[in-house]
Amino acid sequence: MAKTPSDKLYRLIRSLSPAEKRYFRLFTGRSGEGTSKYQRLFEAIASMDVFDEEALKGKVYKNHPPEGKKYSELKAYLYELILKALQSFDEQQSVEYRLNHLLQSVAVLYKRGHYDDCSDILYKAEKLARQYESFTHLLEIIRWEKQLAYTRMDVDFLNRRLEHLQFEEDRTLEQMRNVSDYRKAFFQAYTIIKKENRLRGDDLKTQLQNIVNQDFLNNPDLAGSHKSRTMYYRTLNICHFAALEYQQFYETGKKLIALLESQPHFLRENLSDYIAALSNLILSCGLLQKYDEVRLCLEKLRDLKPITEDDRRKIHRQYYSNKMALCTYTGEFEEGRREMERCLRESTAFDHHDYETASFYFQYCTICFGCGDFDGALAYLNEWLNQPRSAEREDLQSLARILSLILHVEMGNTLLLESLLRSATRFMQKKNRLYDLEKRFMHFVSELMRQPAVRDQLGVYQKMKIDLQEVAKMPGAKVLLQTFDLEAWLEAKISGQTFAAVVRSKWLRETEKG
């Protein structure tokens, strides 16, 4: 069987920003080779929308077949050359690369005996490392200062500075441990929450409480650096969310954003934490019905200038997922449809290997449902159901089955409902997710199937609405119902209004109360 051509080089080139592509052309133009084969290959890939190995060979070799392994060697050479160019590009953009470059320069000068010049560079490096809390580089700088003094046999320097250097080394190691402790706590909480994205009992709450009860998470003053304080607030923030403590979720989110914005030079190096914090603040504002703040945060998110390709994906994903969620909560489904279409258009610019299409399918389904496009909603729901299963968002597996039943009710697919109902019930029993809300809903659909007359169905809808008001007070059910407004759907069926109209009226009443 023929080996499938690798698209690794294609994906790398297609991921480059316009500035990076321009830099590569300047970087390779220094050689004075003119338009070489690797340059032709680069330009051919840069202009190619769909990977086509044979078309690339034709453009590079002018439709003459390459000899032996020449083409594979050319691709490997270009790949390595691009990496070198990107390293050079990042040296001009990234503090970490600048620090690496300074320390490499120290090593070069030290080897040639230029010790005073080494000291000058170490001074610059130390200032930069302290500003950006680059503790690993600080340790290396301290090591070089000791080494320089030893090499020059500068006993006076060691006598005067050794104790201070040892103090700085110990303090830096302590700061590294401090950051490590907070980072460990954050990832422990994150893993627990993503695995159990619901609160159906005390297990999750107990696990999270064990994390936040650690001494260093009880006092922000124990966080010895900006990086530690950032992890401190990020950990508390996600734990409050998982525990449904929405006011604390909002308050820690506000403090986290204020902390991050107070040190803008860190944001010029790394936007990832800020993007996540903004997204969580948007969610907390939505949960507390602070919709004006939601819109302000969405504007901040949309205006961010990404540093990396990952930033660009995250900004896109978080902006659209939160914007569509806002439209869903407020009943502005037509605006949500427009945002959905923009999201779909922009998504074509991302590498399909890295773009999380599945994360949007559920929202697309809800948006289409609110617009009355049940065929479109079912198509997106089926796309979501066909994705590989993961521990993340297991709670949505149950809701997807419920929503599938609702869609078939709306579409009048009565013949399918019985088999779908059996399938959904078996799935929830197998996954141990047939909770009170799910049981009552399954019973409701069964009752609905036995009542073909519209008048009799109305009574079934009214009974389900009363049942829902009882179980909606349960924490786990509340989390589930925030994803799809089942109460609004039942009210729409009872009153004869559209689902969108009921959601919009409900939202307007809530904002008037607020």
Per-residue confidence band for 59, with pLDDT thresholds at 50, 70 and 90: confident
469/300 Cα distance (integer angstroms): 37
pLDDT in the model for residue 391: 47
pLDDT band at 4 (very low <50, low <70, confident <90, very high): low
pLDDT at 138: 97
Nearest to 216 by CA among 183, 256, 265: 183
492 touches 502 (CB < 8 A): yes
**Residue 395's pLDDT band (boundaries 50, 70, 90)?**
low
Q: Give the separation between CA 129 and CA 98, rounded to whole angstroms.
A: 10
pLDDT tens by residue, 442-501 = 888 898 888 877 788 899 999 888 888 877 666 555 555 667 888 999 999 999 999 999
Q: List, in order, residues 6 or more apart from 329 with CB less than 8 Å away.
A: 286, 503, 507
- Residue 433 CA to residue 101 CA, distance in Å, equals 55
Residue 502 has pLDDT above 60, yes or no: yes
Whole-angstrom Cα distance, residue 465 to residue 452?
A: 19
- The per-residue pLDDT for 479 is 53
Q: How many angstroms separate the CA atoms of 206 and 212, rounded? A: 10
Confidence of residue 79 (pLDDT cuts 50, 70, 90): very high
pLDDT tens string 271-308: 999 999 999 999 999 889 899 999 999 999 999 999 88
CA nearest neighbour of 341 among 315, 360, 369? 360
24-33, 242-251, 385-394, 428-437: least confident range = 385-394
What pLDDT shows up at residue 31?
A: 46
For residue 162, give every residue at least 6 positions away whose Cβ sits within 8 Å of its Cβ, in sequence order, or none.
146
Encoding tokens for residue 95? Answer: 């503090």
Secondary structure (H, E, C), 16-43: CCHHHHHHHHHHHHCCCCCCCHHHHHHH
Where do the DSSP E strands lie in 332-423?
A: none
Instruction: Tell me the C-alpha distance between 189 and 235, whole Å.
Output: 7
Number of helical (H) and strand (E) elements in the chain, helices listed first: 26, 0
Angstrom distance (rounded) from CA 410 to CA 90:
54
The per-residue pLDDT for range 167-221, each reduced to its tens digit, is: 999 999 999 999 999 999 999 999 988 775 544 446 788 888 899 999 999 999 9
pTM: 0.76
pLDDT confidence bin for 267, thresholds 50/70/90: very high
* Residues 409-418 pLDDT 10s: 999 888 888 8
State the residue for tokens 């441990």. Answer: 177
User: Residue 376: its pLDDT value, please?
Assistant: 96
Q: How far apart are CA 55 and CA 20, in angstroms?
A: 24
What percent of the chain has a predicted confidence (pLDDT) above 70? 91
Alpha-carbon distance of 308 to 459, in angstroms, equals 56
Give the pLDDT confidence score for residue 390 in this predicted structure: 57
Domain range summary for the chain, segments of one domain joined by +: 8-93, 375-514
Q: Which residues contact 370 (CB under 8 A, 6 or more apart)?
A: 328, 331, 333, 336, 499, 500, 503
**Confidence band, pLDDT 50/70/90 cuts, at residue 2:** very low
Mean pLDDT, to the nearest integer, of 214-238?
Answer: 95
User: Rounded mean pLDDT of the chain?
Assistant: 87
